[in-house]
Amino acid sequence: MHYFNQAAGGLMPDRVLQAVTDYMQREQALGSYVAAQQAQPQLQQLYAQLAALLHCQPADIALTTGNTHGWCAVVGALPLQAGDRVLVTPGEWGGNYAMLLQLQARTGCVVETMPCTADGHIDLEALEAGLDARVQLIALTWVPANGSTVYDAQALGQLCARHGIPYIIDAAQALGHIPVDVQALQCDVLTAPGRKWLCGPRGTGLVYLKPGFAARLQPMTVDHVSCPITPTGPVLRQDARMLEQSESSVALKLGLLAALDTAQAEGWVHRFAAIAERARQLRSALADVPGMSLHSLAATPVDCGIVPFTLQGHPPAQVQQALLQCHIQVAASGMGFTPLDMQARSLSAVVRASVSAHTTDADIQALVQALQTLSAVPAR
């Protein structure tokens, strides 16, 4: 299989599958509680490795079952009220946007889209001019799921810090793809899954909470782990672990640790550079396919690993299925992925090809040849 679907889920290294299987066998032999207790040193390593990758402390990390789980847990815990303004970019992930619309209906907060320039950059000057005391959250999907652009998360963080506005970054398509430093970003919250660019198992994810930010949250769900009962009553944790609950898969967490170990052995800098180089090669090669339209905005770096396109006369879902018959996997990204951006650009869907550090010349050649063949087929 020529795999161009990293943005949906990275292919797990063998050692990830082995780590998950080994733990499940221990759980079968020892029972879940003893096996979990024995795995505690490895779980602490997982927190430490994630903290090192994000440039924070292990106590600032909560483990989740995925990106949307963590993002919604935090945003749902914010004390939003009627009239509060929540600002998002056009590239906001559809799952996040759905949550915000639910909160808007429930609380009376108002969800607004940040102003952007014609080439896709956030118009920071216009944004700052429109700020007032009612702005209670700025939410950024750093790299949109349809690959339309890569926002300047650091510049937006500086603006939020100047005005004391809570700032949450959805790094689902960033962590493991490009360098992430929460100190430089000045974000209060950052979320990511384990299954995409980290190449961990599905069902894993993380939340970074800036120290002290937990005090602003009112979690919708807690249990005896996040809010232990003491003789004097419940005590809600005041760090990132306030977002964790007792029921979770230790096996999948150890799989994520194995994925991080693999990436660490390869070298993160090498991985970022390899993704960037393969992305540049793919964009250049696709540009020569007849009927090809690349749909990244001008603000998108050419080395972004997500490459959205359409092929004239061939709907994205049709392209996806035709490529699958050639043993090539891409995604067909519909309106629901990034509804604000897609509507603004009158796009109903795009084909999304996403590379990894292990994408080869042969992979790119196979994709381009298949698209050239398909482009010669008359549209139905």
pLDDT tens digits, one per residue of 284-302: 999 999 999 999 998 899 9
- Average of pLDDT values for 268-287? 97
Residue 95 tokens, joined: 């799952």
Q: What is the pLDDT of residue 380?
A: 62
Q: Please determine, for residue 276, whether its predicted confidence score (pLDDT) is greater than 90.
A: yes
- Which amino acid type is present at position 331? A
pLDDT tens digits, 206-219? 999 999 999 999 99
How far is it, in rounded angstroms, from Cα 193 to Cα 207? Answer: 9
Q: Please determine, for residue 260, whether its predicted confidence score (pLDDT) is greater than 80.
A: yes
CA triple 209-356-205, angle to 5 deg: 25
Token pair 């950052």 in the structure block, residue: 190
- Of the given ranges (131-145, 166-180, 220-234), which has the lowest mean pLDDT? 220-234
Q: Please determine, for residue 121, whether its predicted confidence score (pLDDT) is greater than 90.
A: yes
Residue 306 tokens, joined: 């997500």
- Measured in degrees and rounded to the nearest 5, phi and psi for residue 377 equal -80, 130
CB 204 within 8 A of CB 78: no
- Average of pLDDT values for 85-106? 98
pLDDT band for position 148 (cuts 50, 70, 90): confident
Domains, the chain, with CATH or none: 2-8+267-375 (3.90.1150.10), 14-265 (3.40.640.10)
Token pair 């939340």 in the structure block, residue: 207
More confident residue, 115 or 223: 115
Q: Where are the alpha helices (DSSP H) in the chain?
A: 14-30, 32-38, 40-54, 67-75, 94-107, 124-129, 153-163, 182-185, 250-266, 268-286, 316-325, 339-344, 361-375
- Average of pLDDT values for 133-144? 98
Q: What is the pLDDT of residue 334?
A: 95
How far is it, in rounded angstroms, from Cα 119 to Cα 124? Answer: 13
Mean pLDDT of the chain: 97
How far is it, in rounded angstroms, from Cα 316 to Cα 333? Answer: 8
- Average of pLDDT values for 156-175? 99
Q: Please determine, for residue 66, whether its predicted confidence score (pLDDT) is greater than 80.
A: yes
Q: What is the pLDDT of residue 377?
A: 83
CA-atom Rg of the chain in angstroms: 21
Eight-class DSSP state of 40: H
**Beta strands at 306-311 and 328-329: parallel, antiparallel or unpaired:** unpaired
Q: Please determine, for residue 166, whether its predicted confidence score (pLDDT) is greater than 70.
A: yes
Q: What is the pLDDT of residue 114?
A: 98
Q: How far is CA 362 from the centre of its chain?
A: 28
Q: What is the pLDDT of residue 199?
A: 98
Q: Residue 355: name the closest of 1, 3, 8 by CA.
A: 3
How far is it, in rounded angstroms, from Cα 333 to Cα 320? Answer: 10
Q: Residue 170: name the closest of 238, 105, 89, 255 by CA.
A: 89
Q: Please determine, for residue 252, whether its predicted confidence score (pLDDT) is greater than 70.
A: yes
Q: Please determine, for residue 272, whether its predicted confidence score (pLDDT) is greater than 70.
A: yes
